Structure 1
Amino acid sequence: MLILSVTQINRYISFKFKDDKKLSGVMIKGEISNFTAHRSGHFYFTLKDKESSIKAVMFKSHAVNVKFMPENGMNVIAMGNISVFERDGIYQVYVTDIVPDGIGSVYVASEQLKAKLQKEGIFDQSAKRLIPQMPVKIGVVTSKTGAALQDIINILSRRYPIGELVLVPALVQGEGAADSISKALIQAGKFDCDVIILARGGGSLEDLTPFNTEKVAYAVYNSSVPVISAVGHETDVTIADLAADLRAPTPSAAAEVVSVSKEQLNGNLNYYNEKLKNLIRIKLNNAEASLERLTERLIRFSPQFKIENNIRKFDDLQKRLDFAFIKIISDYENKYISRISQMEALSPIKVLKRGYSLIYKNSNIISNISKLECGDIIEIKMSDGTVKAKIITEEDI
């Protein structure tokens, strides 16, 4: 019996797989699991159904052409060749192409990109800018031969002839359209436009592919001026629509947004006229109030006001001084009267009127007899006058 090595057996089986034409270019439907996007660019995963599974690998040379990122749980149809990996002795599918089962790869790629940009804040309402009501210069990024441009021109010429339209032509379909749109948006921003309309007529999802690219989304988001996206018809919402500052359902609707009709303009003029009158009235009232306050301050701090104020203070002090002087005089008068009353009560005259007399010798009052001698001349003061007398002894009487 022939004895073979493991390598020989695996290689033999590998040749058998390669010789079987039914295992070449096979299409397998299943659910993705254990998916790994290796840093080398290769995809490794397992395809399974309810009863079985098979390993799969998709090398970088084929993976770069996939328009979406495969995920676990996704139902797909994989196309490729079944062969044996000789080193491990296992067979697997070498995938050359893969598409979602039931929905297109373009749709899947678009949804995945939306989720990514949503996390990065590209669609945040807080980042949206206001669209100017009366733009002077309106940039239009679209095909120069498309119907979208004619619709915009017709609307603006009828509703808003004072606006200047600046066309920045771009490819809106096919290979290179995403780059063309991105460059046109940057160029339009350099033309000092007040607003930019990114426009295209309707089309299939595949036709709108450039407007569902990351490059165009960032070009819209990073535009130096507000962008109105008017791509497709009302039911078609692209990533460019979500990234723009405003989405218009059609190019004609975008033109109406940036233009003001005569009726609207007249209404705006009347509104702003009344608003201006109110502002002027408020300004005048404020100015009058300010003038009154300044006049009051000028009066308060003027020399004349200070002089008059000092005169009033002087008059007040004079009155207070007069009042104080009168009070002091009155107090002294009262004290004087009181003292006079006290003095009168203690006056010797009153004592004399009661029958008493005062005896003086040499102008000195004599209070006892021991101070008198025979022959002294004395004065006797009584209530009604003074008499002189001489001191004599009893023998002289």
Structure 2
Amino acid sequence: MNQALSVSTLNNQIKSLLETTFVGVYVQGEISNLTYHSSGHIYFSIKDENSTISCVMFRGNAQYLKFRLEVGMKIIISGSITAYIPRGNYQLMCTKIDPDGQGSLALAFEQLKEKLQKEGLFDINIKKTLPKYPKRVVMVTSSTGAAIEDMKKVAQNRWPLARLILIPTLVQGEGSKLNIVNSIKKADSLNCDVMIVGRGGGSIEDLWAFNEEIVARAIFEAKTPVISAVGHEVDFLISDFVADVRAATPSNAMEIALPDKNEHLIYLDNLQVELENRFKRVLFNKEQILLNYKKHFEQHSLDRKFSFIQKEIDFLKSNLISTFSQVYRQKQNELNYLKSAYESNHPDRKIVDGYVQLSKNNQIVSLDSVKINEEITLETTKLSVRCNILDIKKI
């Protein structure tokens, strides 16, 4: 009788056989039982008409996955078989996943495009308008690429009055998407009139940072109007959809951002000619009016008119003097009357005329107001007598 194996021994032998035999395999199937774990790992199964196998893609590989897995999606997996001894099961550990029949980048592009479109980030009604005469243009691009030199040249030729500000940015490779986002935020904080986010052309992999969701959202959230200018004319990226304006190239972006000085010089020349013509027409009309006035005055003697006006002036002058004299006399009489009344009723005046002045507690009073046993003072111009009221009789 053959020696019996323990369960652990058998599982270990199976694990060794599977993990050494099925290394770097490619497996095709349809996704089911999909879970995106908070740890960053992705757990799912793939199946065909007859079988199912469990799969896992750990965070280290999942972070480089360009598209999002969905239930029912057909994929091709590159990976290896791993076995779990305690339960005696095995799974496919994925190192790379590609869509079946479609490139992963193309699928990722379409997925993100659909997502952002549903959220309204492409809505044409909320796009900001570019200013007609920008004073400052900030450029988010590489400081060493051809794009920056092309944009400077266009700006100098079209509108040298504009000030250009460069935010040096890593536009491809590891860490480029975060660098682009930070540059956009910095550029937006400068309160410039226009922001150009761009770079020269390249492969889809080179340009991919501008297809990243965080870059798209940074462009959307910017308060500064943004022109997206990535790649050449045939390239169309997520940043183009979300920006306020899409330009075919960085040079084209600067052409869109700035007015053309030559066109404005022509416009000013035409405007000058138009103003001169208008001035000539106005001048001619005024000359005709003056000629008509001249004829009118020649037909009616100016001497007669001046004589009539002088008589009117003399009449008004005489009338004014007469009226003023009358008013002056009236006011003088009123003043004399008031002066006389004041002097005749002033207490000091009464004393001079032989009257006495009654006062009580240093205040002048009338005789009718005094009472028995009150002390009053009688004053003349020479004497002051203090009296006590003993009796009051009405006469």
Aligned to 1:221: 220
User: What is the alpha-carbon distance in structure 2 between the residues aligned to residue 157 and residue 184 of structure 1?
Assistant: 24
Which amino acid is 2:170 matched to?
L
C-alpha contact 1:232 1:249 (8 A) present in aligned 2: yes
Pair 1:189-2:161 in alignment: no
1:133-144 matches, cutoff 5 A: 133-144=132-143
Pair 1:48-2:47 in alignment: yes
CA offset digits 1:231-257 (Å, max 9, x no partner)? 011221111111111000111111111
Distance 1:10 1:150, change over 3 A: same
Pair 1:16-2:14 in alignment: yes
C-alpha contact 1:147 1:201 (8 A) present in aligned 2: yes
C-alpha contact 2:56 2:92 (8 A) present in aligned 1: yes
Displacement of 1:147: 0.9
CA offset digits 1:312-342 (Å, max 9, x no partner)? xxxxxxxxxxxxxxxxxxxxxxxxxxxxxxx
Aligned to 1:152: 151
Determine helix, strand or coil for the equivalent of 1:208.
Answer: helix
User: What is the alpha-carbon distance in structure 1 between the residues aligned to residue 265 and residue 105 of structure 2?
Assistant: 48
CA offset digits 1:43-70 (Å, max 9, x no partner)? 2222223443322233344433433221
Aligned to 1:178: 177
C-alpha contact 1:17 1:23 (8 A) present in aligned 2: no
Determine helix, strand or coil for the equivalent of 2:178.
Answer: helix
C-alpha contact 1:128 1:245 (8 A) present in aligned 2: yes
**Identity across aligned pairs (percent)?**
44
Displacement of 1:172: 1.1
C-alpha contact 1:33 1:45 (8 A) present in aligned 2: yes
Which amino acid is 1:202 matched to?
G
Which amino acid is 1:12 matched to?
L
Determine helix, strand or coil for the equivalent of 1:207.
Answer: helix
User: What is the alpha-carbon distance in structure 1 between the residues aligned to residue 117 and residue 272 of structure 2?
Assistant: 39
Distance 1:157 1:119, change over 3 A: same
Aligned to 1:33: 32
User: What is the alpha-carbon distance in structure 1 between the residues aligned to residue 58 and residue 177 of structure 2?
Assistant: 27
User: What is the alpha-carbon distance in structure 2 between the residues aligned to residue 157 and residue 213 of structure 1?
Assistant: 32
CA offset digits 1:132-154 (Å, max 9, x no partner)? 12111111111111111111111
User: What is the alpha-carbon distance in structure 1 between the residues aligned to residue 9 and residue 54 of structure 2?
Assistant: 19
Aligned to 1:104: 103
Aligned to 1:204: 203
Aligned to 2:167: 168
For normalisation by structure 2, the TM-score amounts to 0.62
Displacement of 1:98: 2.1
User: What is the alpha-carbon distance in structure 1 between the residues aligned to residue 170 and residue 83 of structure 2?
Assistant: 46
Count of residues in correspondence between the two structures:
274
Distance 1:247 1:83, change over 3 A: same
Displacement of 1:258: 1.6
Displacement of 1:125: 1.3
CA offset digits 1:124-171 (Å, max 9, x no partner)? 212200011211111111111111111111111111122221122111
Distance 1:249 1:61, change over 3 A: closer
User: What is the alpha-carbon distance in structure 2 between the residues aligned to residue 97 and residue 141 of structure 1?
Assistant: 33
Aligned to 2:287: none
Name which one, 1 or 2, has greater alpha-carbon Rg.
Answer: 1
CA offset digits 1:248-299 (Å, max 9, x no partner)? 011111111122224532566568999xx9xxxxxxxxxxxxxxxxxxxxxx
Distance 1:52 1:153, change over 3 A: same
Aligned to 1:368: none
Displacement of 1:11: 5.1
Determine helix, strand or coil for the equivalent of 2:167.
Answer: strand
Determine helix, strand or coil for the equivalent of 2:128.
Answer: coil
User: What is the alpha-carbon distance in structure 2 between the residues aligned to residue 121 and residue 32 of structure 1?
Assistant: 29
Pair 1:257-2:263 in alignment: no
Displacement of 1:223: 1.5
CA offset digits 1:333-355 (Å, max 9, x no partner)? xxxxxxxxxxxxxxxxxxxxxxx
Aligned to 1:74: 73
Displacement of 1:112: 2.5
User: What is the alpha-carbon distance in structure 2 between the residues aligned to residue 135 and residue 97 of structure 1?
Assistant: 47
User: What is the alpha-carbon distance in structure 2 between the residues aligned to residue 205 and residue 250 of structure 1?
Assistant: 15
Distance 1:205 1:229, change over 3 A: same
Aligned to 1:233: 232
Aligned-CA RMSD value = 2.9
C-alpha contact 2:42 2:58 (8 A) present in aligned 1: yes
User: What is the alpha-carbon distance in structure 2 between the residues aligned to residue 2 and residue 41 of structure 1?
Assistant: 47
Distance 1:83 1:220, change over 3 A: closer
C-alpha contact 2:158 2:261 (8 A) present in aligned 1: yes
Q: Which runs of 5+ in 2 are unaligned?
A: 279-395
For normalisation by structure 1, the TM-score amounts to 0.62
C-alpha contact 1:11 1:86 (8 A) present in aligned 2: no
1:291-370 matches, cutoff 5 A: none
C-alpha contact 1:47 1:53 (8 A) present in aligned 2: yes
CA offset digits 1:21-57 (Å, max 9, x no partner)? 2223322122222222234433222222344332223
User: What is the alpha-carbon distance in structure 1 between the residues aligned to residue 12 and residue 67 of structure 2?
Assistant: 31
C-alpha contact 1:138 1:193 (8 A) present in aligned 2: yes
User: What is the alpha-carbon distance in structure 2 between the residues aligned to residue 104 and residue 74 of structure 1?
Assistant: 13
User: What is the alpha-carbon distance in structure 2 between the residues aligned to residue 199 and residue 256 of structure 1?
Assistant: 14
C-alpha contact 1:18 1:24 (8 A) present in aligned 2: no
User: What is the alpha-carbon distance in structure 2 between the residues aligned to residue 232 and residue 95 of structure 1?
Assistant: 33
Displacement of 1:9: 3.1
Distance 1:183 1:74, change over 3 A: same
